[in-house]
Every structure is written in C-alpha cells, then in structure tokens.
Amino acid sequence: MLKKYLATTAILTIMILASGCKVIPTEEQIKAENARLDKSITDLNRLITDQELHIGRKQKQINYLQKKIDVLEKETYNSRVNITYTRRQVKDTFTAMQKVIADSEDQLFDCLIGNAPIPRTSAFDPERPTILVDQKNKIYEAILFCGGEIYCNNPVEVRFCILRPGKNQTDKLVIESVSQPFTCPASGYHSLTFDRAQRLKARPGSFIGLYINPGNKIAFDAYGTGQTCHAIVKKLIPGETSVTLPPDHAASASDQPNGRAYSFRLFGSTYLE
C-alpha cells in the first residue's frame, strides 16, 4: 500500500512538472523590477532631454551661420561694387600717370654721355661723310637714350649712333644702331628728342657717335679734355658698318695733349631700360 502511494505521488509530481507551474514573484521581486523600470524610464527621459538640448544648440548654430552667410553675401556684394569702382579709379589714375610719364620721359633722364654741348674754340668741317666716336665717355651700364644735344657753328644735319666693340677686334667698332636724321636750321645749341620707336639702346662697353656730312661744322676743343676719333663712312648700316680706331685709341685723354672734345652728347635713362 505504501509503495502504491509513493508511486502515485511520484507520477503526479512528474505530471505537474511536465505540465508547467506558474511561479508567483514575491513582493520584493516586484518592487525591484518596478525600481529597475523606473530607472530605465528616467534614463530615457534624461537622454531625450539631452538630445533636445543638443538639437536646440545645433539649430541656434545653424540660424547663426545662416545670418552670417546673409551678412557676408551683402558685404561681398558691396565690396565687389566698391572694388570695381576703386579699380576703375586706380586704373584711370594709373593710365593718366603713364601718359604724364610717357610725355615727360625725355625730360626724366638720369645720365648724360658725351661732352658738354657748349661753344668751343674750333669747328670741325669734314670733307666727306664722317662719324665722330667719343672714346673717352664709355658706357658702363644699359641705357635707353631718349635724345641728344649738340652745339654747331652753322646749320647742320646729324645722326646719333651707338657703336660696340667688334668681336675679337679691339681696334674696330661696329655701328649697332642709328637715330633718325635731325636738321638744325641755325648755329648754336640744339636739344633733339628721338621718336619713341627710334630710341637708342646701349649695352655696357658701347660708345656714342655722331654722323655728319661735309659742310656741317661741329664745335670742338683740342686741349686734351676729350678723346674723339673720326672716320669716313660711306653708309650707315647697323650691324655691318665698322670704324677702325687709331693706333693710340687705348691711351687716355690726359695722355693726348691734343685730344679733342666735340660738343655733342646723348641723354637717357637707366630705369627705362
């Protein structure tokens, strides 16, 4: 009988376990679960509040940047208008300055090469077309010549020249460039300005020259204050016509008691070059 009771109890227990049993939580467990849920809700509310604050700050930044962009666009437009006006003013002023400088370039020279165009004791009158070469006043830096000056003893027609040493020929000078012809209708001092397109460029080591025809009298002194040689030339062809220097061309003017100084020179500028 006891065995049957134990067996029945075991079977019932197995059946109960197999069918599942509903476990009722205790009051302490319910309170703990409610506390956990309350904390989760509080954390979520705090997170939502933080996100709302973050979104609010970002929106303020966006609004600020939009207003800043609006201001910058207005300032840029205003600046563009003012810059355009200012540029126009600067350009007009600069153009006016360029015109003033261009009109005055022949008066803004910073160098004179040659002998003073003054009255002298003698006058040179060549028998044939001749070029006078000033060996004393050598050119030592690049110059753009804007014109020349002479003193003549009668009406003359002259041309100014730039000469350079010949290659491997120390006793020869080659005519590098020639000015337009100038007619001086009376004796005395004359200042002659080259056309803008016919200004003469000179490199270091070059010399200046004056081309004259028979009957053209150029004033000179022969007291050793200059060192000018002259040579007969048939044609003035830049790059081809050459002048042979005298044997004593290497001597200084002070070593030549009769060294001649002719009244002609060129004026120009080193900054325009």
Residues 147, 172, single domain; the answer is: yes
Cut 0.85: pTM above it:
no
Clarify whether residues 238 and 148 are in a common domain: yes
Say whether both 64 and 156 belong to one domain.
no
Q: Which helix (H) or strand (E) holds 68?
A: helix 27-104
**Which domain covers residue 228, as residue numbers?**
108-269
Task: Give the pLDDT score at 163.
Answer: 95
What contacts 91, CB < 8 A, 6 or more positions away?
none
Residue finishing a domain among 70, 105, 140: 105
Question: Same domain for 124 and 230?
Answer: yes
Residue 122 pLDDT > 50: yes
- Nearest Cα neighbor of 176 from 189, 163, 166 is 163
Would the pLDDT of 244 be above 70? yes
Question: What's the domain count of the chain?
Answer: 2
Average of per-residue pLDDT across 211-234: 92
The C-alpha atoms of residue 89 and residue 91 are separated, in whole angstroms, by: 5
Interval 178-202 mean pLDDT:
94
Q: Phi, psi (5° rounding) for residue 268?
A: -170, -165
List pLDDT tens digits, range 40-72: 888 888 888 988 888 888 888 888 888 888 888
Task: Please indicate, yes or no, whether residues 135 and 166 belong to a single structural domain of this protein.
Answer: yes
Residue that wins the pLDDT comparison between 260 and 7: 260
